[in-house]
A and B are shown apart, each in its own frame.
Chain A
Amino acid sequence: MRLLSQLAIGEHATIFAIEAEESLYHRLSALGFRVGKTLSVMRRANFNGPLHIRLGTTDVILRDTEAARIHVQNDLLTSQ
């Protein structure tokens, strides 16, 4: 199990747990971050900037601080 912030660019993974206080939890889930959902890391902005994540049909950008609250496990089927 790893944190979303630790994934490499291009990697696919499944959300395993979300560890966040209520308000953040709801913002995340409103944008599609839910346990069991698959996501992939599209890119990271320069100078350790935010991550660009794709969840199904939604693209979301978020900082490392928030990405570190999301636990993921590698998706064996899709990861290379």
Chain B
Amino acid sequence: MKRIALLGMPNTGKSTLFNRISGASARVGNWPGITVDLMSAKVLLGGHIAELVDLPGIYDLHGFSEDEQVVRHFLANNPLDLVIVLLNSSQIDRQLSLLLQIKKLNIPMVLALNMSDEAKKAGISIDTDQLAKSLNMPVLQISAKYGEGLPKALQAAAAVINQAHTTSDPAGISLALEEDQKIEKEMESLLARYVHIPSMLSDSTTDKIDKILLHKWLGLPLFFLAMYALFQFIFAAGKPLQDGLAWLLQLLRSDVLEPLFAGSPTWLSGLFLDGIYNGVATVAAFVPIIVLFFLVMSMVEDSGYLSRAAFLMDALMAKMGLDGRGFVMMLMGFGCNVPALMGTRMMRSRPMRLLTMLVIPLSLCSARLQVFIFMITALFTASQAPLVLFALYLMSFVTMFLTALLFQGQFKNKEPFILELPPYRFPTLRQIVLRGWLEVKHFLQRASKFIVIGVVLVWALTNFPSNVAPASAGTYAGQLGALFAPVLDPLGINNQLAIALIFGFVAKEIVVGALAVIYGLQGDALMVQIASQIDWVQAISFMLFALIYTPCLSTIATLRNESKSLSFMWLSLGWSLGLAWLVSFTFYQSARALGF
């Protein structure tokens, strides 16, 4: 029986070609000289039954990776009637070296150039006739994927087998590869003497932690418990810092800035003190909590726990047409939606990617967190606060799951799910601080740009036209609020909050600053004022709407860029606006109907 080997670099379509030629007859077998099994198949070629062996893909015949040694040992131990070398036409400049290395071994050869369609598109032209003459072997262009040119290539292979009655000479090849064998031997003896690698390496600490954290029943509750504890910590540690900073900023205004602006015109001191300073200071007071949030999140991210979350959640995610990686992206979205949307690039199936991108904007990002912390601090007691916040996080998950469930039919996919589980690593303090600082810097850059522009705009809208009282119904802001009143009144959202929401469309970082400007107050005074104006039902309705209605302009722009589809962007925007209204409406009206 004749023996043919199929050889090529990784990623050249070798397995595809092998499957196409062999059909269902492939089997796995042992070969002299090597310890791993290779696939082979019996094929009919030019009247002979020949055995086609699929060798591992290698970059270099003289290399020392496991696969390269397997190929060398196979050639040095098994006589061959033909080697079919498969190269990727569009990378022929890089891959031709492998062919020339094998040619030195004097084995009858046929060169098959795969992916000729791709090469043509890239403007690469190959003169196969002249190349064949020069190499002294048949050269054929094929497409393993579509089977084009395959009959011709097999014909050429048959002709070579029938013409040449010579087979390869293993002993000669062995001699030719002697230098490589010497290196292998030396490698082996060095490794055997001085390096110890256990056959199954087990990191016992990681194993012990995994036994608990990946436990069949405890795993998921523990995960949510851990998340809740982290939020508790952020709140508990952040609150005193926030209060201290707010007190300092208030002191700066009353003792330094107000005397400084005492002599300037009213509009200028209004713009600077009630506009920019109030807005920026109110936002700045939340920076400590944001810093803590990022420090904690980056610690969780670097620890290896997120891929465990993917493992625990995958079964549930699969029911919604997503996978565990989608869950990790959702968690990343709790920091900022923009990088989470970009992170979906690792999914190859477009439907799954789009479905994941549709749910990410619903995750409660740090900018929204700041709005919620403000509202919660204003309207709830310290013991209620973490619970309300946790409920909002839960709500965020619920809307994401609901969205995926409803839309999974439109985005069907068969994306494989394979993920590496890194060992647990406790990040060093330096790592945490560095990561946290980078995130905070990014947040502040984004926030400061939006906030200053935003609060100035809000100030202008609430102070013009100048013939009416500031922030009254007669101002542009008041008119704008009245315009949206028919839609937002049924949600319990008053005109002032409505204006803040309109600006929140650009970026959530503006919302709190806008409220400060609209009410002309800062810090505690602002909170007291808002608490006297709305009750807790209205506050929750407002937060639900702010959570769902739309992330921010940058997220929308990212959605557009990443999906490359305007209609997808509109779908996402329309869906979240509609859902936000429905959820708030349902909550507000049923709470009122129940007598709250």
Contact = CB atoms under 8 A, between A and B. Distances in A.
Interface of A: 16-17, 21-28, 31, 34-36, 38, 40, 42-43, 45-50, 52, 54, 56-63, 65-66, 71
B507 interface: no
B28 A35 contact: yes
Interface size class of B (residues with CB under 8 A): 35 or more
A56 B197 CA distance: 10
Given A16-B37, A62-B419, 14 more contacts: A17-B37, A22-B13, A26-B10, A36-B35, A36-B36, A43-B214, A47-B316, A52-B311, A59-B421, A61-B420, A62-B418, A63-B417, A66-B416, A66-B418
A50 B311 contact: yes
Given A17-B28, A27-B416, A46-B219, A35 B314 contact: no
Interface string B1-43: 0000000001101011000000000001000000111110000
B594 interface: no
B416 A46 contact: no
B518 to A, nearest CB: 48
Contact of B312 (A31, A45, A57, A63): A45
17 contacts: A17-B37, A17-B39, A21-B15, A31-B418, A35-B37, A45-B216, A45-B219, A45-B311, A50-B311, A54-B200, A56-B200, A58-B420, A59-B421, A59-B423, A62-B418, A63-B323, A66-B416
A54 B214 CA distance: 15
Contacts of B307: 61
A59 B420 CA distance: 6
Enumerate the 8 nearest inter-chain pairs by beta-carbon distance, A residue then B residue, closest first. Answer: A49-B315, A36-B36, A59-B421, A47-B315, A57-B201, A62-B418, A63-B417, A17-B28
A2 to B, nearest CB: 14
Contacts of A35: 28, 36-38
A16, A21, A25, A49 interface centre (most CB from chain B within 10 Å):
A49
A26 B216 CA distance: 30
B400 to A, nearest CB: 19
Contacts of B423: 59
Contacts of B323: 63
A60 B418 contact: yes
Nearest to B214: A43
B37 A50 contact: no
Nearest to A29: B10
B469 interface: no
B416 A63 contact: yes
A31 B417 CA distance: 12
Given A46-B217, A48-B315, A50-B311, A22 B16 contact: yes
Contacts of A47: 315-316
A12 B413 CA distance: 32
A21 to B, nearest CB: 8
A35 B26 CA distance: 15
Interface of B: 10-11, 13, 15-16, 28, 35-39, 66, 199-202, 210, 214, 216-217, 219-220, 307, 310-312, 314-316, 318, 323-324, 348, 414, 416-423
A45 B315 CA distance: 8
B315 A46 contact: yes
B142 to A, nearest CB: 15
B217 A31 contact: no
B28 A28 contact: no
A50 to B, nearest CB: 5
A60 to B, nearest CB: 6
For B35, B37, B39, B414, the residue with the greatest tally of chain A CB atoms inside 10 Å of its CB is B37
Contact of A61 (B199, B316, B348, B419): B419
A49 B421 CA distance: 15
Contacts of B219: 45-46
Given A17-B28, A25-B15, A56-B199, A46 B216 contact: yes
A22 B310 CA distance: 25
Contacts of B324: 50, 61
A56 B210 CA distance: 17
A28 B37 CA distance: 17
Contacts of A50: 311, 314-315, 324, 417
Contacts of A24: 416
Nearest to B13: A22
B556 to A, nearest CB: 32
A26 B421 contact: no
Nearest to A16: B28
Contact of A28 (B66, B310, B418, B422): B418
